[in-house]
Chain A
Amino acid sequence: KAGVTQTPRYLIKTRGQQVTLSCSPISGHRSVSWYQQTPGQGLQFLFEYFSETQRNKGNFPGRFSGRQFSNSRSEMNVSTLELGDSALYLCASSQYRVTNTGELFFGEGSRLTVL
């Protein structure tokens, strides 16, 4: 069974640009969550999507957005990039909403560097 796939794995952008990251969950998983990982803040929750609907959003500015498609694939977008957005962005999927099972399956992440 294929795992969670994130693309691109690495990318470099400059301040003010925007970026779109993609996540393909494990087949049959309907919930996709996104986390930002930085050395200073650790893992911070960004969003949760379930059945194409955003169910929960973390404490991030409106520059961070996302969506989920009917095949459960998800994208997140960051507009007007700032230096502080440099991070590893992790996508995780689960069959149901995480509060039901607690187990998330993580991808390897997309490492974003903003110059």
Chain B
Amino acid sequence: GNSVTQMEGPVTLSEEAFLTINCTYTATGYPSLFWYVQYPGEGLQLLLKATKADDKGSNKGFEATYRKETTSFHLEKGSVQVSDSAVYFCALSDNSSNTGKLIFGQGTTLQVKP
């Protein structure tokens, strides 16, 4: 079945450091890929998405490229801020079957220290 695997956290970085959170997926069909972020005490919110191979999603300085050959969708940011501290979830939806759901990875906690 479809699944998403993320690197385990927590990831602890100093402010202005470079961030990479790895995400790989297994899917039949043609999934769309997403990164969601959950700030403390809040629900999840969409950070960025990519709907086909080689698409790059970007938002708030974060980027991720849909790599079909490596089945990956790694999240990157060049310079993190303390306000980026949150839990990040990689997710996929299978557009080829009408499942109507997202499949999430386990989440990666990011802590940014000043």
Contact = CB atoms under 8 A, between A and B. Distances in A.
Contact of B46 (A4, A48, A103, A108): A103
Contact of B102 (A4, A45, A105, A107): A45
Contacts of A35: 104
B43 A90 contact: yes
B43 A55 contact: no
Nearest to B96: A99
- A42, A58, A108, most chain B CB atoms within 10 A: A42
B101 A56 contact: yes
B90 to A, nearest CB: 11
B101 A103 contact: no
B89 interface: yes
B100 interface: yes
B12 to A, nearest CB: 18
A58 B100 CA distance: 11
B49 A103 contact: yes
A64 B103 CA distance: 19
A56 B100 contact: yes
B32 A48 contact: no
Nearest to A56: B100
Interface of A: 4, 31, 33, 35, 42-43, 45, 48, 50, 55-56, 58, 90, 92, 97-99, 102-109
Across the A-B interface, the 10 shortest Cβ-Cβ residue pairs: A106-B43, A43-B104, A48-B100, A42-B106, A106-B44, A45-B101, A97-B100, A56-B100, A102-B32, A108-B43
26 contacts: A4-B43, A31-B100, A33-B101, A35-B104, A42-B105, A42-B106, A43-B44, A43-B104, A55-B98, A55-B100, A92-B44, A97-B100, A98-B101, A98-B102, A99-B94, A99-B97, A99-B100, A102-B32, A102-B102, A103-B46, A104-B44, A106-B36, A106-B43, A106-B44, A107-B43, A108-B43
